[in-house]
Amino acid sequence: MTAFPAPASVIPHRAPFLFVDVVDALEVGVSATARWRLNGDEWFFGGHFPGRPTLPGVLMCEAIAQVGAYALLSDPSRAGKLPLFGGLDAARFRRQVVPGDELLLEVTLGRMSARAGKGSGRASVGGETACECELMFVLVDA
């Protein structure tokens, strides 16, 4: 099994806003698969929702985007760049995600230019889709 660089060594996100624990697969500039294990101590669970902690859907989309950023920024030609959200389309939330769940995050990058691109992603738990969305991003100097 290939070991990939830690997410924090590739993407600029840091705790408490780094939602990728480990990368399992990478095709540089094309796709990546990663995991995020939710232990229940995350800052958002206390208020979303008291008595029934649930991962906010928007954070699933952010986690998918972070995996896309990993695939993108693993390409040396993108050194010194920062991918920012340009849009989010077709987001669908199919299942509740709770403490103890492990999200499998899969992203495939699509059309790319020097300054922008698109991708699509999926978050799943135990093979069951929790979220899927299409991402648009712009590249700026870091």
The catalytic residue positions are 48
Contact, 135 vs 88, CB < 8 A?
yes
Whole-angstrom distance, CA of residue 60 vs CA of residue 54? 11
Backbone torsions φ then ψ of 134, nearest 5 degrees? -110, 135
* Cβ proximity of 123 and 105 under 8 Å: yes
d(CA 108, CA 115): 18
DSSP letter for 6, please. P
